[in-house]
Amino acid sequence: MYRHICFRLFGIAIFICVSCVHHQNFGLHEDRLVANMWNNHKEIISRILNYQVRGAIIYMINNQRKVYVPFIWTQDHDNSHIKLFNVFGSTIISISVENGVVSILSIISRKDNDLKNEIQKWFMMDISYFLEQLQQWIIGLPNNGEEYNLNSIGCLSHINSYYKKKKISIYYRDYYANSIPILPKILDIYCDQYCIRLVINNWNIR
């Protein structure tokens, strides 16, 4: 009886050890697989220079929604053009960045500088700098020197960036996983208690 119990315990111990080793090997294999998927994915989306994105910007403070604005983003190489709309579909703000110069047009009765400062609060940093970084983030790429993590399908799950000693965290909540290439659907950009959520309804790669 005692010998039988010992053999059973010994067998269980061997099974646990084998299982642990197998799981560890699978983890290493999975890491290599994800890394290869990421390298292939990164190479494909790095070629995207012209696109149009339709969706909504949700501005939150302490996870409480403050502003909901539909938008269209058009990217032509290094030049960006963004239109923000009201609930009736009329353009309320148009932001263009060409050669690093920001231009803002608006039907809102405010001075340009006041409006620019207000939008800058939404973006949590200098507008031109934010849009320059967002050109990469929105298609699912980190900028140079940024820390990042990958998910199980070989795409970004999280980026850490820094602006004037402030930490900016970007979380990719969802992807269009069935599209070729795989492109972001929802991403959150955090700085302190502020968050900009981009909900992307449509991608048009040109």
All structural domains of the chain with their residue ranges: 1-47, 49-205
* CA 108-137-95 angle, 5° bins: 20
- CATH number of the 49-205 domain: 2.50.20.10
Query: Could you read off the pLDDT of 118-144 as tens digits, one per residue?
Result: 665 666 667 777 888 888 999 999 998
pLDDT tens digits for 149-169?
999 999 999 999 988 888 999
Q: How many helices (H) and strands (E) does the chain have?
A: 3, 10
- HSE-CB at 12 with a 13 A cutoff on CA atoms is 6
pTM of the model: 0.78
Instruction: Give CA separation, 118 vs 71, 89, 99, 108, in Å.
Output: 17, 21, 22, 12
